[in-house]
Amino acid sequence: MISPSCTVGAKEGWRTTITVEELNRSSEEAFVSAVGWLFEHSPWVAERAWRRRPFRSVEHLFECMAGVVKEAELEKKLALFRAHPDLGTRLSVSEASKHEQRQAGLDRLTPGEYEEFVRLNQQYVRKFGFPFIMAVRGQTKEAIRKAMKERLGGSPETEVERALAEVLRIAWFRLKDMGMV
């Protein structure tokens, strides 16, 4: 049984205990502050999901947020995909992405590995128009590199679907990390 009480990140790094019932009663601004960061730099997901209250559970909250993304027009989905950083980048990324990439060892790439990730990311963006997206939880840098190479051979339609599935997986992991699951 899932506890209705959870710990949420109001602004990455800031935590407070909140219940699903409190999220249901919260203003749109407070709701977006609490869960808007789950989808990388895309608070519009939380803004649209807020209108679907009340949420019966944490799973229902996630289903509503996932539904918002799935139902969004293609340009909105592509903007969400483009909000994700290149994997292995040394540029500024969100705290959540930094933590996820660190766990996969992407902060410890050798110079050669870094150059290969940059090259693969550039090839992927040129072909598909958005960065390679993968939920890296439990993955190694070798597995990520292999997936990048394999997915470069995919079709644009397949990669849009794959990116969508990976974005939802990332958001679910982040929700779990908040203690909501």
Give the pair of three-digit tokens for residue 46: 């939380």
CA distance 39 to 57: 19
Give the pair of three-digit tokens for residue 136: 């890296």
Task: Name beta bridge partners: 8.
Answer: 16
Question: For residue 28, how many other CB atoms are within 10 A of its CB?
Answer: 13
Residues 87, 68 contacting (CB under 8 angstroms): no
Catalytically annotated residue among 41, 60, 84, 99: 84
What's the Cα-to-Cα distance from 126 to each of 30, 131, 163, rounded to whole Å? 38, 9, 15
Residues 12, 21 contacting (CB under 8 angstroms): no
Task: Name beta bridge partners: 7.
Answer: 17
| 99 is an active site residue | no
Q: How many residues does the chain have?
A: 181
For the annotated catalytic residues, the residue numbers are 84
